[in-house]
């Protein structure tokens, strides 16, 4: 077994504070949360000390398992929930603090709910026009026409919601929210009512629409694939706290915590011991970039797409099982110590259980954690997608 040529400690990456400063240094944030906390019950905070900034036209996803605080954060931004501490600013205006609560209708936000909340007795055009009372008749009609064309609904304006598909209903809800030219668009699990094929299509359409309109957007989801596909940056929440805020690639390749590492894709955590300049594990040696003192117990995070296997009668690892995932096979492999790891191989690479294999580590982005960082999370409501293709490029 050969070790990776490089590894990274989560403390080597920029902190959330540094990331935030980099985002806001060259432009005024459209949305800013400063140390925001919310609590539904005294002593039981729903979110604690959450800070983030969102620039004009940015798409930020709030990602996490059920109960992590992502929907509470969205509702606080919308003005549906008061905050117990901190401040929320929209376009530079204070809209929430313990002593300030600007009503939702005065915040200039657009919101698309999971159920879309369309009026069943109104036609598509009337649903989109709802709330545009400050516009004259001609202006209102022109605005609706623009939204119909922008969302691909031209020709459907006289239909009722029940005559539309789920994807078309979602477009109507988006058109209605965008018709008001909101300061920020808020999306609460917008794809939860769509089938997988429609979800994939609507992700692409939504991303294109938001970028064309340069709409500043906050999207809530528990699906990391959805977040990767749409977001410019992802805010990962866990138990009411922001664990990492970064670009999707950084979230995946350089997770700041073991929770983040495990939540955004399958990950294995290999125990090891720090030595002079290296970390020794059952999978081989890795560089000790963190500089842990000799004898320090650590773990190395590695993903299935970083491990390549090849049948070898002399190999000390063996295949326990294979899961066929369409474009790939996911192998469970037992190391001589008994530890289990996983390898993502092409769909045509089929080996039976019990096969002895040699392992090659192709990763250049393995991440070191202390064992005190806590066990890998096991949220029960998250999907388990196939791992992405292996990477052999330079460290991110």
Task: Please tell me the distance from the alpha carbon of residue 292 to that of residue 274, in angstroms, as a whole number.
Answer: 6
Beta strand extents in 158-256 (DSSP E only): 184-188, 217-221, 233-238, 241-246
Per-residue pLDDT at 313: 95
Per-residue pLDDT at 264: 96
Mean pLDDT of the 241-254 span: 95
Q: Under the phi-then-psi rule, with left for phi > 0, alpha for psi from -120 to 50, and beta for the rest, what region is 212?
A: alpha
Closest CA to 246 of 20, 3, 70, 6: 20
pLDDT in tens, 218-230: 999 999 999 999 9
Q: Are 271 and 278 in contact (CB under 8 A)?
A: no
Q: Are 179 and 21 in contact (CB under 8 A)?
A: no
Strand order, beta sheet including 31-41: 44-54, 31-41, 85-90, 93-97, 100-101
Residues 288, 292, 293: CA angle, nearest 5 degrees:
120
**pLDDT > 90: percent of the chain:** 64
Per-residue pLDDT at 343: 96
Per-residue pLDDT at 215: 94
151 pLDDT higher than 70: yes
CATH architecture of 266-373: Beta Barrel (2.40)
366 pLDDT higher than 60: yes
393 pLDDT higher than 60: no
Residues 288, 292, 295: CA angle, nearest 5 degrees:
105
Per-residue pLDDT at 356: 97
193 pLDDT higher than 80: no
pLDDT band of 73, cuts 50, 70, 90: very high
Please list, residue by residue across 357-373, b when 16 or more beta carbons sit within 10 angstroms of its beta carbon and e when fewer do: bbbbbbbbbbbbbbeeb
22 pLDDT higher than 60: no
Task: Please tell me the distance from the alpha carbon of residue 355 to that of residue 309, in angstroms, as a whole number.
Answer: 11
Q: Which residues 6+ apart lie within 8 Å of 13 measured at CB? A: 246, 250, 254, 256
Mean pLDDT of the 136-163 span: 91
CA dihedral of 63, 68, 69, 70, whole degrees rounded to 10: 10
Task: Please tell me the distance from the alpha carbon of residue 195 to that of residue 40, in angstroms, as a whole number.
Answer: 33
138 pLDDT higher than 70: yes
Closest CA to 290 of 302, 307, 274: 274
* Structure tokens that stand for 286 in this block: 């890795």
Task: Please tell me the distance from the alpha carbon of residue 328 to that of residue 224, in angstroms, as a whole number.
Answer: 19
pLDDT in tens, 108-122: 999 988 777 889 999
pLDDT band of 387, cuts 50, 70, 90: very low
DSSP 281-322: ETTEEEE-TT-PPTT-EEEEEE-GGGEEEEE-TT-SEEEEEE
358 pLDDT higher than 70: yes
Task: Please tell me the distance from the alpha carbon of residue 8 to that of residue 181, in angstroms, as a whole number.
Answer: 43
66 pLDDT higher than 70: yes
382 pLDDT higher than 70: no
pLDDT band of 190, cuts 50, 70, 90: confident
Which range, of 1-15, 79-93, 259-273, averages the lowest pLDDT? 1-15
Which range, of 80-94, 142-156, 193-207, averages the lowest pLDDT? 193-207
Q: Which residues 6+ apart lie within 8 Å of 246 measured at CB? A: 13, 16, 19, 233, 234, 254, 256
Task: Please tell me the distance from the alpha carbon of residue 264 to that of residue 366, in angstroms, as a whole number.
Answer: 15
Listed by start position, the domains of the chain span: 12-253, 266-373
180 pLDDT higher than 80: yes
As a whole number, the mean pLDDT across the chain is 85
Please list, residue by residue across 374-393, b when 16 or more beta carbons sit within 10 angstroms of its beta carbon and e when fewer do: eebbeeeebeeebbbebeee
Reply yes or no on domain 12-253 having CATH 3.40.50.300: yes
Q: Are 358 and 319 in contact (CB under 8 A)?
A: no
Task: Please tell me the distance from the alpha carbon of residue 130 to that of residue 127, in angstroms, as a whole number.
Answer: 5
């Amino acid at each position: 077994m050969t070790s990776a040529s490089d590894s990274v400690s989560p403390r080597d990456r920029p902190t959330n504070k540094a990331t935030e400063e980099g985002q806001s240094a060259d432009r005024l944030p459209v949305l800013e949360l400063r140390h925001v906390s919310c609590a539904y019950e005294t002593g039981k905070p729903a979110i604690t000390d959450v800070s983030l900034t969102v620039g004009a036209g940015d798409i930020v996803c709030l990602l996490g398992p059920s109960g992590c605080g992502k929907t509470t954060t969205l509702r606080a931004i919308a003005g549906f929930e008061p905050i117990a501490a901190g401040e929320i600013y929209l376009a530079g205006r204070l809209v929430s603090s313990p002593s300030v609560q600007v009503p939702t209708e005065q915040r200039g936000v657009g919101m698309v709910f999971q159920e879309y909340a369309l009026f069943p007795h109104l036609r598509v055009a009337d649903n989109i026009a709802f709330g545009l009372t400050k516009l004259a008749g001609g202006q209102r009609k022109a605005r609706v026409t623009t939204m119909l064309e922008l969302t691909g609904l031209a020709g459907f304006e006289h239909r009722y919601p029940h005559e539309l598909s789920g994807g078309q209903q979602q477009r109507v809800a988006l058109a209605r929210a965008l018709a008001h030219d909101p300061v920020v668009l808020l999306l609460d699990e917008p794809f939860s009512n769509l089938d997988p094929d429609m979800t994939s299509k609507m992700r692409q359409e939504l991303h294109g629409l938001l970028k064309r309109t340069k709409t500043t957007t906050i999207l809530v989801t528990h699906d990391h694939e959805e977040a990767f596909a749409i977001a410019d940056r992802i805010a990962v929440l866990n138990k009411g706290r922001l664990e990492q805020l970064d670009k999707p690639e950084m979230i995946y390749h350089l997770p700041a915590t073991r929770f983040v590492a495990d939540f955004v894709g399958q990950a294995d955590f290999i125990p090891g011991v720090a030595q002079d300049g290296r970390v020794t594990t059952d999978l081989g040696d890795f560089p000790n970039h963190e500089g842990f003192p000799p004898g320090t117990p650590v773990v190395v995070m590695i993903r299935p797409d970083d491990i390549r296997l090849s049948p070898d009668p002399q190999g000390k690892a063996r295949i326990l099982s294979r899961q066929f995932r369409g474009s790939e096979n996911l192998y469970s492999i037992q190391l001589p110590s008994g530890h289990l790891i996983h390898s993502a191989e092409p769909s045509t690479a089929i080996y039976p259980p019990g096969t002895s294999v040699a392992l090659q580590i192709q990763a250049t982005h393995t991440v070191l954690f202390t064992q005190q960082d806590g066990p890998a999370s096991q949220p029960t409501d998250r999907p388990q997608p196939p791992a992405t293709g292996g990477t052999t490029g330079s460290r991110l």
